[in-house]
Amino acid sequence: MLCNTKQLLLAAQQEKTAVAAFNVYSLETVQAAVRVAEQEERPVIIALGERYFPTVDVEGFAALVQAIAAKANVPVALHLDHAYEKASIVRAIRSGFTSVMYDGSKYELAENIRRTKELVELAHMAGVSVEAEIGSVARGDFSDEEEGDGTLTDPASAQRFVAETGVDFLAASIGTVHGMYTGEPNINLELLGRIREAVSVPLVLHGGSGTPDDVLTEAIRAGICKVNVNTEVSMAAVAYLVEAAQQPAFHRAHLSTIMESMQQSMVPVMARFVRLLAHKR
Ligand SMILES: [Zn+2]
């Protein structure tokens, strides 16, 4: 069933687990995510970034996810990831997304608060929950995200931001990157602990891909309730296509079988995250 993202995250906060938010871009990615969630009997968040709005029929996509979610026997939420424009947030709310992320992280704190607060009021009127970000997640390898400067989240600013905006969950920048790490990951769990003490709303980790399992587990124990996963899933599908294209039979294959196999190639990566986030090994 389609569920409000906030309810999923508050439940995860209670049980000290996290919900996987998979970035999706096609029918296959949506079906893989929901299939994994059902197999693992865990909720899942389907996330579409504003950056895909130029190429995706947003209303059609939302209707598709809602129809798949309605049949699913686990909770499914539909989330707008990294929106920079008010128009995108309004469009997502109208289309039935259950949560939106407003990314005002490029603005200084007071301006980010002013802009976020306005959008929180708008979204809450429609019963849609809001994620926002302070600090900025940097960009690693194979990423399809905007560049961030890697500024870590200041706990006192986080406290003020949450209090003044009324945001429902907060993306904290603690050293993860969008995409794959180019060197050793340097993730500040001590800082996460201080942010956790400063705010009571569920915390979100962007840049799940490539983050060591033990760090993810510790981060979830320290208050992370939602982990965004994008790059590793994309890499698995691309690796499948590259490998398959080298087989002679590929060139005579039907697109439907290629798409089905590509969907299958994403399942193990998604399942690993869903299990890890639920502390199931
Ligand atoms: Zn992100």
Do the beta carbons of residue 65 and residue 95 sit within 8 Å?
Answer: no
Cα separation values, 76 from 31, 66, 95, 168, Å: 12, 9, 16, 18
Gap from CA of 255 to ligand 1 centroid (Å): 31
Q: Which is the catalytic residue, given 81, 103, 154, 168?
A: 81
Could you tell me the CATH number of the domain that includes residue 224?
A: 3.20.20.70
The CA distance from 186 to 193, in Å, is 15
| Local confidence band at 184 (pLDDT 50, 70, 90 cut-offs) | confident
Active site residue 81: yes
Gap from CA of 247 to ligand 1 centroid (Å): 35
- What average pLDDT does the segment 9-15 reach? 97
What is the pLDDT at residue 85?
Answer: 97
Gap from CA of 207 to ligand 1 centroid (Å): 6
Q: Mean pLDDT across the chain, nearest whole number?
A: 94
Q: Which domain holds residue 44?
A: 5-277
Share of the chain above pLDDT 90, in %: 83
Neighbours of 169 (CB within 10 A): 24
Dig out the tokens for 14 from the structure: 């209670």
Domain count, the chain: 1
- What average pLDDT does the segment 235-258 reach? 94
- What average pLDDT does the segment 9-25 reach? 96
Is the pLDDT at 228 greater than 70, yes or no? Answer: yes
Gap from CA of 230 to ligand 1 centroid (Å): 9
Gap from CA of 206 to ligand 1 centroid (Å): 5
Question: Tell me: the pLDDT tens digits for 153-179?
Answer: 999 999 999 999 999 999 999 988 888
Is the pLDDT at 144 greater than 80, yes or no? Answer: no
From the number of C-beta atoms within 10 Å of its C-beta (0-12, 13-18, 19+), residue 237 rates as buried
Share of the chain above pLDDT 70, in %: 99
- What average pLDDT does the segment 36-52 reach? 97
Coil/strand/helix, residue 145: coil
Token pair 């809450």 is found at 124
Where is average pLDDT lowest: 42-56, 127-141, 236-250?
Answer: 127-141
| Local confidence band at 281 (pLDDT 50, 70, 90 cut-offs) | low
| Local confidence band at 185 (pLDDT 50, 70, 90 cut-offs) | confident
Is the pLDDT at 236 greater than 90, yes or no? Answer: yes
What is the pLDDT at residue 186?
Answer: 85
